Amino acid sequence: VAGGDYVPDSLTNALVADRLTEADAANGFLLDGYPRTAEQVSYLDNLLAEQGRPLEAVIRLVADQDELVARLTKRSAEQGRADDSEE
């Protein structure tokens, strides 16, 4: 979304649900940047429970805030992304 807002949970959840039906996700998958909201967490938990596919691991990456701002500001300048501002 151009303003930097999240895509609605309903759309994101539907895309993830559809993607997890693909053959290459049958034996496992890695989700990058999803889930991001409490609704998405709940949806994913329910979806996987219905499919009998429990989560085996969750990885949380923690980065230095100043480094993140510097990288996003640089990306904004290089790519003209309005959503990559210090705010």
In the chain, domain spans: 1-56, 60-87
Instruction: Look over the chain and give the mean of its residue pLDDT values, rounded to a whole number.
Output: 89
* Separation between Cα atoms, residue 28 and residue 51, nearest integer Å: 13
Choice between 14 and 32, residue whose per-residue pLDDT is larger: 14
DSSP 24: G
DSSP 7: P
pLDDT of residue 2: 57
pLDDT band at 24 (very low <50, low <70, confident <90, very high): very high
pLDDT of residue 64: 95
pLDDT digits (tens, 9 = 90+) for 67-81: 999 998 898 889 888
Q: Name the pTM for this structure.
A: 0.70
